[in-house]
Structure 1
Amino acid sequence: MKPASQRPVIAPAAPGFVRIIGGLWKRSKLAVPARPGLRPTPDRVRETLFNWLGQNLGGLRCLDAFAGSGALGFEAASRGAVQVLLCEQDPGLAASLRANAERLQATQIKVQRGDAITVLKGAARASWDLVFLDPPFGDGGNEALFRQALQAAVPLLAPQGCIYLEAPRAWSDEDLLALGLRCSRHGKAGQVHYHLLELAPAT
């Protein structure tokens, strides 16, 4: 092994960027610090999602529980959402989200640093139109975290509200019905499954 003084110096990973693809801030770049396991939702998946939702989200209230890069929340705000709460536990990512919001003068965006499940459980009930859930996959898929997030998100939905879920597997009708949900749309990009979920009709 070479002495420490002779070893090559490895530079830290440079910050990356994600690009807003529609709305007021179309083509604006959001700076994103490099983090292991961070998976910003790809452009083509976001494009599909907002085709499902409709391009204009005017008047909607959105909660992004595992904000990460903030791509989903900023995209919603760019398309007219009047209230967007970004929750992020990592202090560096939370600071980056605040800086991006300030640069865009996105006054409808609030960044809250904290544990996503805790924030979901403490959020206002029946007053969110759209909840984004993109938990870290982790080893083995982090199945328990996904279930906890869905359970905590369901009471937050307004009557016509919906949940966007990214996961390492497709969630079955049986799994979702047990949580009071049904899947209205589903897609797959690489190893990621993405779902648009609605409250299941009362039986």
Structure 2
Amino acid sequence: MAKAKPAKKTAAASGQIRLIGGQWRGRKLPVLHSEGLRPTTDRVKETLFNWLMFDIRDRRCLDLFAGSGSLGFEALSRYAAEVVMVEKDAAVAGQLKRNLATLPAAPGAVVQADAVQFLQQPATPFDVVFLDPPFHQELLPKVCERLENHGWLADDALVYIEREQGLALPTLPTNWSLLKDKQAGQVSYQLYQREQVK
């Protein structure tokens, strides 16, 4: 009997995320396997969206390192006015688009782009921004500076940051006030509010 050949590694969906609240609560969406992709855990996501309970509905949201789309799709499920998901990896961005197409009339968009380069274009202010960049690439200082100084943030915007635990917090704009701060496993996560610069 011939030996079965080992299965080839493909860009097929190899995991899933679950929406934990809102109109599509319980819906599962497929996620591609991609190196460095870390969907935000349900535990962290539940804490975050408890923090944002009154700040998502009818707000414009930017998911700048979208990856699995865990945060962006959760915001859509909770009636965000618009969610823009930015993802550099073409295959992962393609899966985000396919997942978005399964949510009836969801006001979302997927942009395949490098996050830093995306922030170089003319800005439209967002009310809520999710920042969960790949670990060990020191992307937070650049994107935070561009978000603040290039018109991407509404006057009282909320900014969520998720990063590897033990890493020193990068220098953030002085008008960002820390609202919440927690750790879970290998990640540290914070919620900031922008104060209008006078």
> Is 1:192 equivalent to 2:187 in the alignment?
yes
- Structure 1's 123 and 82: CA in aligned 2 closer, same or farther, altered over 3 A? farther
**Aligned CA-pair RMSD:** 2.4
Q: Which amino acid aligns with 2:34?
A: R
Counterparts of residues 40-79 of structure 1 (less than 5 Å): 40-54=39-53, 57-79=56-78
- The separation in 2 between residues aligned to 1:54 and 1:75, in whole angstroms, is 12
Compute the displacement of 1:135 (Å). Answer: 0.7
Compute the displacement of 1:182 (Å). Answer: 2.2
Gapped regions of structure 1 (runs ≥ 5): 1-5
Compute the displacement of 1:201 (Å). Answer: 6.4
Q: TM-score under structure 1 normalisation?
A: 0.85
- The separation in 1 between residues aligned to 2:79 and 2:122, in whole angstroms, is 21
Q: Which amino acid aligns with 2:86?
A: C
Gapped regions of structure 2 (runs ≥ 5): none
Q: Residue 6 of structure 2 aligns with which residue?
A: 9
Compute the displacement of 1:9 (Å). Answer: 2.3
Q: Which amino acid aligns with 1:47?
A: E
- The separation in 2 between residues aligned to 1:69 and 1:17, in whole angstroms, is 8
Kept in 2, the 8 Å contact 1:131–1:153? The answer is: no
Aligned length: 192
Q: Which has the higher helix share?
A: 1
Q: Percent identity?
A: 40
Q: Which moved more, 1:102-111 or 1:77-86?
A: 102-111
Q: Which moved more, 1:49-58 or 1:30-39?
A: 49-58
Q: Residue 80 of structure 2 aligns with which residue?
A: 81
Kept in 2, the 8 Å contact 1:56–1:80? The answer is: no
Q: TM-score under structure 2 normalisation?
A: 0.87
> Is 1:36 equivalent to 2:35 in the alignment?
yes
- The separation in 1 between residues aligned to 2:30 and 2:152, in whole angstroms, is 30
Q: Residue 136 of structure 1 aligns with which residue?
A: 134
- The separation in 1 between residues aligned to 2:56 and 2:171, in whole angstroms, is 29
